[in-house]
A and B are shown apart, each in its own frame.
Chain A
Amino acid sequence: MKGRVLAAGSVTARALVLREPLSLWGGMDPASGELIDAHHPQRGASLSGRIVVMSAVRGSSSASSVLAEAVRAGCAPAAFLLGETDLILAVGAAVAEELYGVRLPVVVLPPTELARIHDDAVLRVDEDGSVTPV
């Protein structure tokens, strides 16, 4: 499958499919990558190094800062695959690249294709937004 690229990069990692939308501000500890939103069903999971799959986005405009800070701390997700466009994550990834030279792909996929991704599947995300199982 191939999606729309909001931030380019290439990475191979394991998928983490979020069952509910997550706001990174108040939802992820940038110092550890842990999911800390008390109301989220996957509280305690680690987002660090995972390809985070999220069908809907939610919440605070401060999430760009939280993402850039997680990249700085070396605890950020490897990539985001989203079901809808999100300016906030795209900008967080752009700033992280500018400041720390780390490229974190953010790709929007059609919801039907996103729904076919299984938790823990190993995926490769390429520069052009193509996503392939490894």
Chain B
Amino acid sequence: MRLVVRAADALGAGRLIPIVAAHVDSCLYHGEATVDFAQRLVDGGAQVSVPTTLNVGALDLLHPELWRGDLRTADRGRLLMECYRALGCQPTYTCAPYQLAFARPKLGEQVAWAESNAIVFCNSVIGARTERYGDFTDIACAIVGRAPDAGLHTSAARRAVLVLRMAADVPPSLLDSDALYPVLGIVLGRRAGTRVAAIDGIPPGLSEDRLKAIGAAAASSGAVAMFHVVGSTPEAPTLAAALQDAGPEEVAEISLAELRAARDELTTLSGGGEVGTPIGTVSLGTPHASLAELRGIERELAGARPAPGVELLVSTARQLLADAEEEGLAPRLRALGVELLVDTCSYIAPVLRPSPLPAMTDSGKWAFYAPGNIGVEVIFGSLRECVRSAVSGVVWRDPGLWGPA
């Protein structure tokens, strides 16, 4: 309770409001202080008072053999994940709790979620309400069942103040490609910072997987906790609705040139990952892959296997893996040589096979954090480019995807 009140003071909230659920990120090991804190709660007999899901932890508890780091860190990471179960949290261990039917709040419900991509999805795509919670505050809110009455819990703070229009030179074929959306998210994060923006000029009914890609990237390059896509997100049936009938502070265009520049920055390998560049790894599923995305990977593989020496790894949630096992999808992917990782992520846990060659990804977030976290050179590409490159062992590019050269 002291922590929640401290958070309320910092946010300038005059009171606390009840929440219906929580998503907790504190279960990822960052040193002994994180264990000391959890152990203190466990020893005190604390229990969560609302349904609470858990974010990724330090390791894949279902496939511990994938761990390539030191064993003591693995033990401490596992202990921390178990502490949070003991507090009554559900062992979901996913950064995409919104993909689990039982964990999805409803439009307008108040929750306390941590994990930047989950926060932005919750606010933007579901229309449930959370502020940006982080380690310690998330579990404190879950135990108390309350959150500060401030920020994005309130309607006024959810109004778009920045309008970003897609420029006329962005080709329809790009709007129709998965490759655009993580890059658009990187641009959104840079332009918006902490502000709520509305993106206009995208064909209505954008899929959840594409909205997820925008949000995850925007919360990496900026501190975006909410955005609107006019015609696609629930609080933006029209631009006027997103603006809550007020005028925007700023209106700007996103040009094809800006998108291409952001795309190029996601590739850290000098030379930019030209066609034919040898690769060692392909990492997909950041945030955790949905079932639709797992099926898409199988479709793109079309029965082919990764080239010898190339690791193709996909991260997902253990509950979705169980569904994929049941429908036969997971065994088919494994039979083709795809590694499936759950409970953690390949830029947090030491799981990738050491390789002197660069890694390729379709995730803006993975491209943003992996170079610093695990020291790999990254090449960004669309899902199709990633999968075909894995099969050939060298970079393949979709000609014309980003418009005429």
Contact = CB atoms under 8 A, between A and B. Distances in A.
A61 B114 contact: yes
A94 B6 contact: yes
A92 B136 contact: yes
Nearest to B40: A99
Interface residues of A, number: 33
Contacts of B32: 69, 72
Contacts of B34: 65, 68-69
Given A69-B30, A87-B10, A95 B136 contact: yes
The interface residues of chain A, by DSSP majority, are classed as: helix
Contacts of A98: 2, 40
Contacts of A26: 369, 372-373
Given A61-B135, A64-B136, A91 B37 contact: no
Contact of B26 (A65, A86, A90, A96): A65
25 contacts: A6-B9, A26-B372, A37-B372, A38-B371, A38-B372, A61-B25, A62-B134, A64-B135, A65-B28, A65-B34, A65-B136, A68-B33, A69-B33, A86-B10, A87-B137, A88-B135, A90-B6, A91-B3, A91-B136, A94-B136, A95-B3, A95-B33, A96-B33, A98-B2, A99-B40
B7 interface: yes
Going nearest first, the 8 A-B pairs with the smallest beta carbon separation are A61-B134, A69-B31, A65-B30, A68-B33, A69-B33, A64-B135, A65-B135, A72-B33
A65 B33 contact: yes
B134 A59 contact: no
Contacts of A99: 33, 36-37, 40
Interface residues of B, number: 33
Contacts of B40: 98-99
B316 interface: no
Contacts, number: 101
A45 interface: no
Given A62-B25, A85-B10, A91-B10, 4 more contacts: A64-B134, A68-B33, A71-B33, A95-B37
Given A61-B132, A64-B134, A72 B31 contact: yes
B37 A63 contact: no
B277 to A, nearest CB: 22
B136 A30 contact: no
Contact of B28 (A38, A62, A85, A86): A62
Nearest to A5: B9
